[in-house]
Amino acid sequence: MPLNDIAVSRIAPAGHTVGEATQLTVHPSGATVVIDFLTKSILGGHGYQVRLGVLTTPVTGDVEVTTLAAEASADSVAGLVIIPSHFTFNIEALGGTLPQASVKMTATASTAGTAFTPLPLITGGRAASTTARAAAAGGVTVVDDAATTTRLLYASHQAAVGNFDVNVDLLGKGVVNGAGNVYVAVGSVSTGSTYFMELSYLEYTAAQLGL
């Protein structure tokens, strides 16, 4: 039976100081329990979600997608880090041709749109230090999309409603270090499609990640 469930840092890893005691998760057998980064981050209160529209009350997308408009944005400032983790998009009614959904990342936060309070992915979790906006029909203003500055994390076009159900893992696609954002743009040609979506991400301080 293990007598201790702590370890002592012998160097100065990110977020700790030399000689600081750090908590470990230890199984009764004495084995160290290893948890994946995403689960551990959510358990530690680092996970948040931005939502727009719900199953019974979808919102209407932009007509059509422009380079300065978004539907939702998670925004960071100096000293904070955003790691996009997941994106879900479900279109309920096809309002026009070529419905599109994309997730992008820039080094400039959004500048206008309806504020949204990020939802902690652990219920009862602390309020986010990052901020967010969510507004249908391209109601969130973002920096102009450019191939030289905007990172494309996900994009799709679809011609039918039946198979337009997006469930995307964004971990490893990119990281916002300091000022910037991860945003979602949705639109169709001629008439806006109705949909609901979520964008989930992890929030850390730069010091916690050693950046």
pLDDT confidence band for 71 (50 / 70 / 90): very high
pLDDT in tens, 117-150: 999 999 999 999 999 999 999 999 999 999 999 9
Does the structure show a pLDDT above 60 at 10? no
**pTM for this prediction:** 0.86
Q: How confident is the model at residue 20 (pLDDT cuts 50, 70, 90)?
A: low
DSSP tally for the chain: helices H, then strands E: 2, 18
Alpha helices in 90-155 (DSSP H): none
pLDDT for 7 equals: 54
The rounded distance, in Å, linking the Cα atoms of 159 and 62 is 16
Q: Rounded CA gap, 124 and 175, in Å?
A: 26
Mean confidence (pLDDT) of the chain: 87
Residue 95: what pLDDT?
Answer: 72
pLDDT for the residue numbered 5: 52
What CATH class does 46-209 carry?
Answer: mainly beta
Angle 60-181-201 from CA coordinates, rounded to 5°: 80
- pLDDT band at residue 78 using 50, 70 and 90 as cut-offs: very high
With a CB cutoff of 8 Å and minimum separation 6, the contacts of 151 are 104, 105, 106, 174
Greater model confidence, 76 or 164: 76
- Provide the 10 A C-beta neighbour count for residue 68: 14
Q: At residue 188, does pLDDT exceed 90?
A: no
**Selected residue with higher pLDDT from 74 and 62:** 74
Cβ contact 26:5 at 8 Å: yes
Average of per-residue pLDDT across 51-66: 89
How far is Cα 63 from Cα 188, in angstroms, rounded to an integer? 6
Reported as a pLDDT band with limits 50, 70 and 90, residue 187 is confident
Q: Enumerate residues 6+ apart whose C-beta is below 8 A from 163.
A: none
Alpha carbons within 13 angstroms on the beta-carbon side of residue 151 total 15
Q: What are the start and end residues of each CATH 2.60.120 domain in the chain?
A: 46-209
Q: Which residue has the higher pLDDT, 120 or 93?
A: 120
Highest-confidence range of 21-25, 66-70, 80-84, 207-211, by mean pLDDT? 80-84
**DSSP-derived secondary structure letter, 194:** E
